[in-house]
Amino acid sequence: MPRAIRVPLKRYFTRFFKKDLLAGLTVGVISLPLAMAFAIASGVNPEHGIYTTIIAACLVALFGGSKYQVAGPTGAFVPILLSIVLTYGYENLLIAGFISGIILIVMGFLDMGSLIKFIPRSVTIGFTAGIAVNIFTGQIGNFLGLTGLERHESFIANMSDIIVHLNTINPYSALTASICLAFILLTPRFLPKVPGSLVGIIVSTLIASIFFPTDVSTIASTFGGIPSNLPQLKIPTFTLDKLNQLLQPALTIAILGAIESLMSAVVADGMSGTQHNSNRELIGQGIANMVAPLFGGIPATGAIARTATNIKCGAATRYSIIISAIFVLITMLLLAPYAGLIPLASMAPVLMIVAYNMSEHHAFISIVKVRPFNAGVLLITFFLTVLANLTVAVEIGLLLAMMNFVKRMSAILVVTQVVPDQENYLVEISDQDVAETHDCPQISIFSIEGPLFFGAAQMFSHSIMNTIHYDPKVIILRMSKVPLIDLTGENHLRTIVENLQKKGIIVLMCGLSGQPEKKLKTTGLYEQIGPDHLFPHTSNAITYAIEHINKDHCHKCNKHIFKECLLSEKKIS
């Protein structure tokens, strides 16, 4: 049973309903114009955005993993959805959205919610800023009322088309958009609790309807108005060819949807002091994206701004989100004819402000100033998002970030040769020290610290083999500070062990435990080294080593590197 309905109804209506009602109505007022604006920007009719807002909000509220998450159409999806509509058409967009829902549910069941959190901030800021640029520039035509424009996937083609058609500016559209923009910016200063976008749309629509009703393009004149009835269930036609064709777009939708929804959930946690369930959230988003296309809805994800508004307005339970969806539904049924009067020029500044807010320009600038490599990742991701597409941008950005991570992790692995000091503590020595008198000619000890994985395995081999300037009788590898060994690291370790054993050198290990021990047992290297050559502590390994070295050499040696040397010397004498 969904969590939202576990609260006893009597207790709910006495304690929580008023808070949820206020929050729900506020979120609904904000969601309605955004739903239409995002749908139009995505290349589909405005009612499809409204259907998405109603269905996705309810399903994510009931089945998602965040108490206050508000789902619906978002700006992040606009370039992706527009690209799919232009390439494959609206019907195939519905199929791609449905497939993305399946992918999200699978991701949730595979416990991938926690993995998505590790996507570097430089990548997320880069593609978010790139999306913001695409949204902003995509609204220039509507803002200025340009005619003859065509929608292109390419940013450069769109900008070129805008420049070519600048001579078709409609002054009435520009005036309408400017009025709306002014109210969006000024309303928060004078009426902070009133949504500026709603005020801007209402005022600019009234002015345009009264003074120049036939001189600007409206929702009704462009899309034929908004239906004032409930969406009808329609199963898209699935074929194997379509599934193969739409798998990559669906995967892009799923990944971006997962990132956006979990980012929004994290913001909600920080504002409300709650803790979301990442995997449950992915499943909830998946269910929403499977159901919404069946009723004509477009892909949806968690909306950070609407979620934050929900919390700021005092929402107490998940019911606030359902109330917001009901408000949008009732408004659509009652006011659809009036919504058709809204000029497209009034929607443009709403999306431009959304784009500006989602660009996170402060974070963008701080990363560029402070972190050189991360700045490179951010800029590459940003420009690829703008000039190519989001899929390529995220893939390249993640690849670069992974390379940086591997490089940093490989630097963590440290291999040092150690010897006992006067108090018999093992200390690091340099090559110059070794050349002097403080190194045992028969026993060499190496401390390995850090993960032994593919990025550091080559360095590990060179460090061990290049440090050994002679052939000792025994080599001790201290492994207590190695938290992880992967197959590449194990292969390099095996090569070292085999090379040393071929020379007749005894290889001892100490401190091996946890994952490294399991890995060596699984691959057989544990048995190859020999269980009698593995010890819990370095002192045990040293005792074993002294018992298996050439005692004649010890008798001639006066270095007494180890305290055991004196004991061994007494036994010999």
Write out pLDDT tens, residues 502-512: 988 999 999 99
Higher per-residue confidence, 251 vs 229: 251
Give residue 55's pLDDT. Answer: 96
- Mean pLDDT (the chain) is 87
- Could you give phi then psi for residue 448, rounded to 5 degrees? -115, 125
The tens digit of pLDDT for each residue in 345-398 reads: 999 999 999 889 888 889 899 988 887 888 999 999 999 989 988 778 888 988
Per-residue pLDDT at 10 exceeds 80: no
Per-residue confidence (pLDDT) for residue 455, from 0 to 100: 81
455 exposure class (CB count in 10 Å sphere: 0-12, 13-18, 19+): buried
Phi, psi (degrees; rounded to nearest 5) at 535: -135, 155
Specify the 3-state DSSP secondary structure of 472: coil
Instruction: Give the count of alpha carbons within 13 A of 199, CB side only.
Output: 16
Burial label for 343, CB within 10 Å (0-12, 13-18, 19+), is buried
Residue 208 has pLDDT above 80, yes or no: yes
CB of 142 closer than 8 Å to CB of 345: yes
Banded pLDDT at 225 (limits 50, 70, 90) = confident
Residues contacting residue 130 through CB under 8 Å, at least 6 positions apart: 381, 382, 383, 384, 385, 386, 390, 393
Q: What pLDDT digit, counting tens, does each position of 299-345 carry?
A: 999 998 899 889 988 899 999 999 999 999 999 999 888 889 999 99
Strand pairing report for 71-72 and 443-449: unpaired
Give the global pTM.
Answer: 0.77
Looking at 42-46, 420-424, 452-456, 513-517, which range is the least confident one? 420-424
Burial of 121 (0-12, 13-18, 19+ CB in 10 A): middle
Q: Is the pLDDT of residue 522 over 80?
A: yes
In words, the CATH class of domain 413-572 is: alpha beta
Taking the CB of residue 404, how many other CB atoms lie within 10 A of it? 17
Q: Where exactly are the structural domains of the chain?
A: 13-404, 413-572
Q: Residue 487 CA to chain centroid, in angstroms?
A: 27
* Radius of gyration for the chain, computed over Cα atoms and rounded to the nearest angstrom: 33
Cβ atoms 145, 173 nearer than 8 A: yes
Task: Give the whole-angstrom CA distance, residue 281 versus residue 259.
Answer: 11
Least confident of 114-128, 243-257, 260-274, 531-545: 114-128
Residue 465 has pLDDT above 90, yes or no: no
383 closest CA partner among 401, 396, 399: 396
Percentage of the chain beyond pLDDT 70 is 91
Name the residue among 97, 99, 85, 100 with its Cα closest to residue 45: 85
Residue 292 dihedral angles phi and psi, to the nearest 5° = -55, -45
Q: What stretch of H or E contains 428?
A: strand 426-428
DSSP state of 335: H
- The residue with tokens 């699978």 is 106
String of DSSP letters for 268-306: HHHHH-----HHHHHHHHHHHHHHGGGGTPPP-EE-HHH
Asked if residue 232 lies in contact with residue 31, where contact means CB atoms within 8 angstroms, the answer is no
State CA 459 to chain mean position distance. 31
